[in-house]
């Protein structure tokens, strides 16, 4: 893909915040009345990437890394200090009112629904705000109601909804105007397993059936595993990794563990290139690096000396990989 | 336009829910109306010489103040808008295909309308039938009445334009307390809410006349009672329009500046 005609392109985006700081205590607070100390926090440093139409991109990084700031820049809410950004041919902050007609945004920690009135009232307000034609509104509402199972909750006031119900409504609210690009900032935060799965399946279906491009930030690596073909990792305002999840796993996730249940052996079996973690008369746990010893070799060596009853292999958890990656970059 | 009408409608529906607040408000306003009128009546019966405004006109002035309180009071605040700015929920407002200034303007307008609608009709029914001297008078001519309606509407637009400046200031100050206190105390006094403008000392009146505040309350109310004659009232309406234009343009420019520097609070 040529970088210049990419659907979404960010080039050298920088954003700095001025933060007032002082240490605790009355004396310091009094001092701060007269002379305030400011620190400049570099929230984004030279962020560049491009995303093609129809992709699902996971945007990850520890708290305070700059994920939300990037989303806000990309959705036209924040004006960056430096850099260029072009999305669908628009400059998000300069062409804000025109541009936002084509995007949907969900901030998992905020609400766009009117608190005291039934959900459907908020939806109708959005219909008028986005000037959605009546036919399109009806079709979209019917589709979203079915896909997100909203039928029973549309007429309830927002304040009486559970978090999972509200989040489904929030997501529906962001899609009423058929946006081509959807930003999800922590859409699964605080949701139970059932709601999480429902939200994930919906996002997948939306991407597959309607070709909606999705950019999502999350701390839940299983979200990423289930959804994103590509991940961008940011730490301390710098882009650290851009690639597929599989590549990441290959690079960092070569450590595996094997658990073997067996009969007919009373002493430990040592296998070259592996570490024996646990040993009993029925079970042993080995950890090994799949780049040094193949699984086939291990199984052969084991079955030479014991009668294998059961065997399970587990790869390193994606969370562990991410922690390792954060450590490597010291973030 | 449909979008603004829609926001207006939902806001209005929302505001109409606060029935008990409206009842309590009405009781308070009746109480204050009576107290003010008693004080002024006492002054007038002991005063010597000509007063700059007749007691009847003054009583009408007081009642109109109480009836349309939610149209004209500057400290009428919309906590939700302040919260939007200080906790960062403004993020959602900014990803709508609308300019923020007219968006918020219509919200504020609707809120005042809802509150006034709930209170003004019952209050009117009361103040037109209570015994003299507390009873409220009618405008002297139909001309005065029509001009009063126009002046009241424009006054409302001016009040909302002034209060928009308070909301915009919060982008920088992060707390509405200071702005509200300053504008409300000074603005309220200069609008003639505490002492009717005709009763102010003569050195103060020129100052009051060059500021926008009196055009929101003092002016429409005196048009109603005929204290400001029709011809003068027509000129006054032009001045109201001029103030409205200045305040809206200033507000929009400041809003633009605020949004360029906006920091969306929270993660």
Residues A311, A279, single domain; the answer is yes
Rounded to 5 degrees, what are φ and ψ at A103? Answer: -125, 155
Inter-chain touch A130–B97, beta carbons under 8 Å: yes
β-bridge mates for residue A314, sequence order: A257
A125·B10 Cβ contact <8 A = yes
**Does one domain contain both A231 and A260?**
no
Contacts of A74 (CB under 8 A, 6+ apart): A8, A10, A85, A87, A92, A183, A215
In a domain, A301, yes or no: yes
Per the CB < 8 Å rule, is B92 touching A78? no
Q: Per-residue confidence at B87, pLDDT binned at 50, 70, 90? A: confident
Chain B residue at shortest CA distance from A185 = B267
Q: Which residues contact A201 (CB under 8 A, 6 or more apart)?
A: none
Q: CA–CA separation, A115 vs A128, rounded Å?
A: 18
Q: What is the pTM of this model?
A: 0.79
Phi, psi dihedral angles at A235 (to 5 degrees): -150, 135
Cβ of B10 within 8 Å of Cβ of A121? The answer is yes
| Residues in chain A, overall count | 331
Q: Is B17 on the interface with A (CB under 8 A)?
A: yes
Strand pairing partners for A139? none
On whether the CB atoms of residues B22 and B112 are closer than 8 A, the answer is no
Residue B257 touches chain A, beta carbons under 8 Å: no
Q: Which of A88-92, A286-290, B33-37, B157-161 has the lowest mean pLDDT?
A: A286-290
Whether residue A174 is contained in a domain is answered as yes
The answer to whether position A157 is within a domain reads yes
DSSP helix/strand/coil, A13 = strand
A134 touches chain B (CB under 8 A): no
Is A152 inside any structural domain?
yes
Residues A232 and A259 in one domain: no
- Residue A1's pLDDT band, with cuts at 50, 70 and 90, is very low
**Rounded to an integer, what distance in angstroms lies between the CA atom of residue A286 and that of residue A258?**
5
Given pLDDT bands bounded at 50, 70 and 90, which one contains residue A48? very high
Domain identity same for A219 and A272: no
Confirm whether A44 is domain-assigned: no
Nearest to A79 among B17, B260, B267 (CB): B260
pLDDT, one tens digit per residue, over B19-54 is: 788 888 888 889 988 999 988 888 888 876 677 888
B95·A105 Cβ contact <8 A: yes
Same domain, A158 and A100: yes
CB contact under 8 A, B91 and A103: no
Q: Same domain for A119 and A222?
A: yes
pLDDT of residue A5: 63
Q: Which residues on A lie below 8 Å from B89 (Cβ)?
A: 110-111
Residue B129 at interface with chain A, using a CB cutoff of 8 Å? no
The CATH number assigned to the domain holding A295 equals: 3.30.70.250
Q: Smallest Cβ distance to B96: which of A110, A124, A129?
A: A129
Chain B residues whose beta carbon lies within 8 Å of the beta carbon of residue A109? 266-267
Across the interface, of A76, A101, A130, the residue whose CB is closest to B94 is A76
Nearest chain B residue to A111 by CA distance is: B89
Structure tokens at A60: 């990850």
pLDDT at A276: 80
| CB–CB contact A130 B13 (8 Å) | no
Strand A230-235 and strand A238-243: the pairing is antiparallel
Q: Is the pLDDT of residue A15 over 60?
A: yes
**B245 to chain A, closest Cα gap in Å:** 23
Burial class (CB in 10 A: 0-12, 13-18, 19+), A327: exposed
Pair A284, A211 in one domain: no
Q: What is the mean pLDDT of chain A?
A: 85
CB count in 10 Å sphere of residue A38:
10
Residues of A in contact with B267 (CB under 8 A): 63-64, 68, 109
- Does A5 map to a domain? no
Residue A68 lies in a domain: yes
Distance from CA of A221 to the nearest CA of B (A): 19
Task: Report how many helices (DSSP H) and strands (DSSP E) chain B contains, helices first.
Answer: 12, 0
Give the C-alpha separation, A83 to A11, whole Å. Answer: 6
Q: Which domain, by its residues, includes A289? A: 254-315
pLDDT at B11: 79
Q: How far A77 CA sits from the closest chain B CA (Å)?
A: 6
Contact B230, B143 (CB under 8 A): yes
Q: So where are chain B's domains? A: 2-260
Hey, is the C-beta of B1 within 8 angstroms of any chain A C-beta?
Answer: no
Quick one: tokens of A273?
Answer: 């290139």
Q: What is the DSSP string of A106-148?
A: EETTS--S-TTSBHHHHHHHHHHHTT--HHHHHHHHHHHHHHH
Task: Give me the interface pTM, i.e. the ipTM.
Answer: 0.75
- Hey, is the C-beta of A103 within 8 angstroms of any chain B C-beta? yes
The reply to whether residue B91 touches residue A131, judged by beta carbons under 8 angstroms, is: no
Measure CB to CB from residue B97 to each of A101, A105, A117 and give the nearest one. A101
For residues A165 and A243, membership in a common domain is answered with yes
Could you tell me if A155 and A244 lie in one domain?
A: yes
More confident residue, A305 or B65: B65
pLDDT score of A140 more than 70: yes
Nearest to B156 by CA among B105, B193, B121: B105
Residues A65 and A213 in one domain: yes
pLDDT 10s digits, A244-275: 888 877 777 667 788 888 887 667 777 777 87
Is residue A59 in some structural domain? Answer: yes
* A326 pLDDT more than 80: no
> What confidence tens digit (pLDDT) does each residue in A57-110 have?
999 888 888 888 899 999 988 888 889 999 999 999 888 889 999 999 998 888
pLDDT for residue A4 is more than 60: no
**Do B94 and A130 count as a contact with CB atoms less than 8 A apart?**
no
Does the beta carbon of B21 lie under 8 angstroms from any beta carbon of chain A?
A: no
User: How many CB pairs lie under 8 A apart between chains A and B?
Assistant: 75
Looking at the 3D structure of chain A, how many domains does it have? 2
Cα dihedral A148/A151/A156/A157 (nearest 10): 30
Least confident of A224-228, B85-89, B232-236: B85-89
Is B201 part of the contact surface with chain A (CB cutoff 8 Å)? Answer: no
Residues A169 and A291 reside in one and the same domain: no
Residues 6 or more apart whose CB falls under 8 angstroms from that of A152 comprise none
Facing B6 at nearest CB: one of A17, A78, A128: A128
């Amino acid at each position: 893909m040529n970088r210049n005609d990419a659907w979404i392109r960010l080039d050298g985006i920088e954003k700095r915040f001025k933060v007032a700081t002082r240490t605790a205590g009355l004396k310091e607070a009094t001092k701060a009345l007269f002379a305030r100390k400011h620190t400049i926090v570099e929230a984004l440093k030279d962020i560049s990437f491009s995303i093609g139409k129809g992709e699902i991109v996971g945007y990850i990084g520890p708290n305070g890394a700059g994920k939300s700031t990037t989303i806000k820049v990309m959705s036209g809410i924040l004006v960056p200090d430096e850099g260029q950004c072009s999305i669908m041919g628009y400059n998000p902050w300069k062409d804000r009112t025109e541009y936002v007609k084509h995007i949907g945004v969900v901030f998992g920690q905020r609400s766009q629904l009117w608190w005291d009135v039934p959900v459907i009232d908020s939806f109708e307000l959005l219909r008028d705000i986005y000037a959605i034609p009546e036919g399109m509104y009806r079709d979209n509402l019917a589709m979203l109601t079915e896909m997100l199972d909203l039928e029973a909750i549309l007429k309830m006031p927002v304040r009486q909804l559970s978090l999972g119900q509200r989040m489904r409504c929030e997501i529906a609210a962001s899609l009423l105007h058929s946006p081509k690009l959807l930003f999800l900032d922590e859409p699964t935060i605080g949701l139970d397993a059932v709601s999480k799965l429902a939200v994930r399946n919906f996002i997948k279906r939306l991407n597959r059936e309607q070709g909606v491009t999705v950019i999502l930030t999350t701390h839940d690596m299983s979200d990423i595993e289930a959804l994103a073909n590509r991940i961008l990792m940011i730490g301390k305002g710098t882009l650290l990794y851009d690639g597929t999840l599989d590549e990441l796993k290959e690079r960092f996730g070569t450590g595996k563990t094997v658990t073997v249940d067996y009969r007919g052996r009373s002493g430990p079996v040592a296998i070259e290139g592996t570490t024996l973690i646990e040993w009993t008369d029925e079970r042993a746990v080995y950890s090994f690096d799949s780049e040094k010893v193949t699984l086939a070799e291990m199984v052969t060596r084991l079955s030479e000396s014991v009668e294998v009853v059961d065997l399970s292999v587990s790869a390193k958890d994606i969370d562990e990989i991410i922690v390792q990656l954060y450590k490597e970059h010291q973030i | 336009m449909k979008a603004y009408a829609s926001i207006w409608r939902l806001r209005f529906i929302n505001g109409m829910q606060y029935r008990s607040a409206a009842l309590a408000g009405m009781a308070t306003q009746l109480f204050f109306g009576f107290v003010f009128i008693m004080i002024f009546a006492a002054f007038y019966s002991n005063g010597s010489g000509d007063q700059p405004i007749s007691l009847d006109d003054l009583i009408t002035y007081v009642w109109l103040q109480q009836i349309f309180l939610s149209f004209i009071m500057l400290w009428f605040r919309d906590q939700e808008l302040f919260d939007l700015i200080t906790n960062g929920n403004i993020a959602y407002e900014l990803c709508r295909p609308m300019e923020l200034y007219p968006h918020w303007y219509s919200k504020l307008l609707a809120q005042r309308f809802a509150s006034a609608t709930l209170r003004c009709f019952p209050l009117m029914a009361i103040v037109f039938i209570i015994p003299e001297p507390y009873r409220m008078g009618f405008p002297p001519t139909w001309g005065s009445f029509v001009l009063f309606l126009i002046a009241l509407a424009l006054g409302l637009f001016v009040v909302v334009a002034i209060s928009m400046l308070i909301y915009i200031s919060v982008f920088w100050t992060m707390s509405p307390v200071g702005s509200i206190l300053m504008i409300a105390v000074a603005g309220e006094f200069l609008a003639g809410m505490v002492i009717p403008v005709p009763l102010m000392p003569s050195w103060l009146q020129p100052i009051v006349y060059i500021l926008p505040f009196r055009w929101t309350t003092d002016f429409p109310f005196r048009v109603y009672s005929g204290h400001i004659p029709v011809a003068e009232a027509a000129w006054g309406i032009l001045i109201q329009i001029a103030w409205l234009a200045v305040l809206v343009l200033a507000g929009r420019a400041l809003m633009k500046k605020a949004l360029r520097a906006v920091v969306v609070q929270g993660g």
